[in-house]
């Protein structure tokens, strides 16, 4: 059907265009790709939080390996990653690769990059903090691990470990400018306004087949409904993280295709047992009750518009572990939830609210990004249990600030579940894990992670991993809900777009082609 916009939407688009909120409609001659996204990098340094995944998503940065759409891993800047001893891996680098500045990507530079990321980035430290990396020759690195590490290739594919020219970054007196950003991807930065706009041009010295797209403009449009209107108006070629409310309109629109792949991440409501405002969360029975009280199928249907599915456990979004669907909270059981709350002393009063010692059971739930609809459904479902939920949908900066202060009860976030799974569980459950927001102390974690890594067979490894997943469900540091919906609008003139379960892997690929 023809694309139409209301007068209000048209005015909104005009305002967005005039203030830089949407890519310039010009440059549609097949050489410029226009993107409207929920968020762009906060900086151009891949060792800085909130930069790494975005730089990878837009084709600026690369890692030693890359996870394919089917979940397998393949070399990227590495030519080979080979286990040469029980606790030793040899990495052979591609020949002739250079940074955007022209500096060679040799073994010394790669080692410096990994060590800089480890020193400056908490998640990178979680991933490779115990590795010893040595240079064997200009194109060869040797990585030694303190114990078995069967998932090392997946670890090296992580977006937090993008290879960059550490020497160039370390010499800067402040944040990197476009001229100073020095990575390896098929596109290089030409302009940057933090959290507003990123402009790129193709890297003619890239090691792979030369991209056909000359330029890319990436504009941050934080409001999801505005992104939807931009997609419907044809104001951008790729628009990411579209709201579920817009899915019916987008599916019917001419000139665009709505693309979605089951995300390999789990939207989780992280809980703070030390919250000064919600001491009930220190009780495991209360956390379990909240988990049993969720009708995940309803949340997925209402909040995801068919683009997601229930996740009964944290690992359920990883297609390699179908058994995880039966762990955790595979059904909605409000009766069990009510019984657990009763046992914990939170009694249902005549007003339909639960209280203990005269104090009502109240939880502050913060959502951000695309999780607004999820929070609204959870609020309604927990209200039916007698739990009062104070819901706020805020910018992720406010979420982080509340977490840093320790003044939070419940927050949504989504971590990838695909890759080095034991290491990912260490991030979620380990005492120093960057995803262990509630700082839970779970003594069994280290042993299970070690058991998974040391397993002699895949069956033994899977058993240990599923034990970690069951432990997560039992302790409930966070309540799994569903994979994050990944609705991306792609203009018909864009060819070669491939959906990927990891959002940051699929927005820009070097073999994308723009038609007329």
Q: In what order do the strands lie in the sheet with 362-367?
A: 388-393, 362-367, 410-416, 265-271, 478-482
DSSP annotation of 45: -
Axis-axis angle for helices 444-454, 421-429 (nearest 10): 170
pLDDT at residue number 22: 53
**pLDDT the model gives residue 30:** 59
Rounded to 10 degrees, the C-alpha dihedral 379/382/386/390 comes to -30
> Mapping DSSP to helix (H, G, I), strand (E, B) and coil, where does residue 128 land?
helix
Whether 1 shows a pLDDT value over 60: the answer reads no
Please provide the CATH number assigned to the domain covering 265-482. Answer: 3.10.105.10
Q: Considering the chain, what percentage of its residues have pLDDT values greater than 90?
A: 75
pLDDT tens for each residue of 408-429: 999 999 998 988 899 899 999 9
Is 60 exceeded by the pLDDT of residue 12? Answer: no
What pLDDT score was predicted for residue 71? 77
Domain 7-38+186-261+486-514 and domain 265-482, same fold? Reply is no
Q: Which of 181-195, 212-226, 301-315 has the lowest mean pLDDT?
A: 301-315
The mean pLDDT of 323-341, rounded to a whole number, is 97
Assess contact for 511 and 496: CB atoms under 8 A.
Answer: yes
Tell me if 44 sits within 8 A of 51, measured CB to CB: yes
pLDDT for res 6? 35
pLDDT tens for 83-99 read 999 899 999 999 999 99
With a CB cutoff of 8 Å and minimum separation 6, the contacts of 335 are none
pLDDT score, position 18: 36
> Is pLDDT at 7 greater than 90 in this prediction?
no
243 in Cβ contact with 237 (< 8 Å):
no
Q: Is 90 helix (H, G, I), strand (E, B) or coil?
A: strand
pLDDT tens for each residue of 428-478: 999 999 999 999 999 999 999 999 988 988 899 999 999 999 999 999 999
Range list of H helices, 352-392? 372-384
Residue-level pLDDT at 284: 98
The domain ranges of the chain are 7-38+186-261+486-514, 65-168, 265-482
Per-residue pLDDT of 431-443, as tens digits, reads 999 999 999 999 9
Topology of domain 7-38+186-261+486-514 in CATH is D-Maltodextrin-Binding Protein; domain 2 (3.40.190)
The band of 339, judged by pLDDT with boundaries at 50, 70 and 90, is very high
Which comes out higher in pLDDT, residue 291 or 10?
A: 291
pLDDT at position 4 is 33
> What global pTM score does this model have?
0.73
The Cβ of residue 360 has, within 10 Å, a number of other Cβ atoms equal to: 15
- For the stretch 142-179, pLDDT in tens is 999 998 888 899 999 999 999 999 999 998 888 999 99
Looking at every residue in the chain, the average pLDDT score rounds to: 90
What is the arithmetic mean of pLDDT over 109-122? 96
CB 288 within 8 A of CB 402: no
- Of the listed ranges 121-125, 412-416, 501-505, the one predicted with least confidence: 501-505
Greater confidence (3 vs 242) lies with: 242
Question: Which pairing describes strands 410-416 and 388-393: parallel, antiparallel, or unpaired?
Answer: unpaired
- Name the fold adopted by 65-168: Dipeptide-binding Protein; domain 1 (3.90.76)
- Tokens, residue 359: 């104090």
Cα 362–Cα 363–Cα 365 angle in degrees, nearest 5: 150
Q: What is the pLDDT of residues 353-405, one digit of tens each?
A: 999 999 999 999 999 988 999 999 999 999 999 999 999 999 888 999 999 99
pLDDT for residue 269: 98
Alpha-carbon distance of 67 to 319, in angstroms, equals 14
For 195-210, b/e burial (b = at least 16 CB within 10 A) is eebbbbbbbeebbeee
**CA 146/CA 69 separation, integer angstroms:** 30
């Amino acid at each position: 059907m023809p694309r139409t916009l209301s007068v209000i939407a048209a005015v909104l688009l005009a305002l967005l265009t005039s203030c830089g909120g949407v890519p310039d409609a010009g440059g549609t001659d097949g050489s410029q790709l226009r993107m409207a996204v929920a968020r762009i990098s906060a900086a151009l340094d891949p060792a800085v939080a909130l930069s790494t995944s975005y730089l990878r998503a837009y084709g600026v940065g690369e890692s030693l390996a890359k996870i394919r759409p089917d979940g397998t891993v393949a070399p990227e800047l590495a030519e080979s990653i080979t286990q040469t001893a029980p606790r030793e891996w040899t990495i052979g680098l591609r020949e002739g690769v250079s940074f955007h500045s022209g500096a060679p990507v040799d073994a010394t530079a790669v080692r410096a990059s990994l060590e800089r990321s480890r020193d400056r980035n908490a998640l990178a430290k979680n991933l490779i903090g115990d590795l010893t990396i040595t240079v064997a020759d200009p194109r060869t690195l040797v990585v030694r691990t303190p114990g078995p590490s069967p998932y090392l290739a997946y670890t090296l594919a992580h977006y937090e470990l993008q290879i960059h020219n550490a020497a160039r970054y370390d010499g800067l007196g402040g944040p990197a400018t476009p001229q100073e950003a020095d990575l390896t991807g098929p596109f290089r930065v030409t302009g940057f306004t933090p959290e507003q706009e990123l402009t790129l041009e193709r890297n003619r010295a890239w090691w792979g087949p030369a991209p056909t797209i000359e330029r890319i403009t990436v504009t941050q449009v934080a409001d999801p409904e505005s992104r939807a209107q931009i997609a419907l108006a044809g104001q951008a070629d790729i628009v990411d993280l579209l709201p579920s409310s817009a899915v019916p309109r987008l599916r019917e629109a001419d000139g665009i295709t709505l693309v979605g792949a089951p995300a390999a991440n789990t939207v989780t409501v992280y809980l703070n047992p030390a919250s000064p405002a919600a001491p009930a969360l220190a009780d495991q029975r209360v956390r379990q009750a909240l988990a049993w009280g969720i009708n995940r199928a309803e949340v997925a249907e209402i909040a995801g518009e068919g683009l997601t599915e229930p996740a009964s456990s944290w690992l359920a979004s990883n297609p390699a572990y179908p058994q995880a669907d039966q762990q955790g909270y595979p059904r909605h059981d409000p009766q069990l939830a009510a019984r657990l709350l009763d046992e914990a002393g939170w009694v249902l009063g005549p007003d339909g609210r639960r209280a203990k010692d005269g104090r009502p059971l109240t939880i502050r739930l913060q959502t951000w990004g695309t999780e607004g609809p999820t929070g609204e459904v959870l609020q309604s479902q927990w209200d039916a249990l007698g739990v009062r939920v104070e819901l706020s949908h805020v910018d992720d900066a406010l979420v982080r600030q509340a977490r840093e202060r320790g003044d939070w009860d419940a927050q949504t976030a989504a971590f990838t579940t695909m890759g080095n799974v034991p290491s990912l569980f260490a991030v979620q459950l380990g005492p120093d894990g960057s995803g262990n927001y509630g700082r839970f102390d779970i003594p069994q974690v280290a042993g299970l992670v070690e058991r998974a890594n040391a397993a002699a067979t895949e069956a033994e490894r899977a058993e240990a991993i599923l034990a970690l997943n069951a432990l997560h469900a039992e302790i409930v540091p966070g309540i799994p809900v569903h994979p994050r919906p990944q609705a991306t609008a792609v203009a018909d003139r864009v060819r070669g777009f491939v959906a990927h379960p990891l959002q940051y892997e699929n927005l820009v690929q070097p073999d994308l082609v723009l038609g007329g």
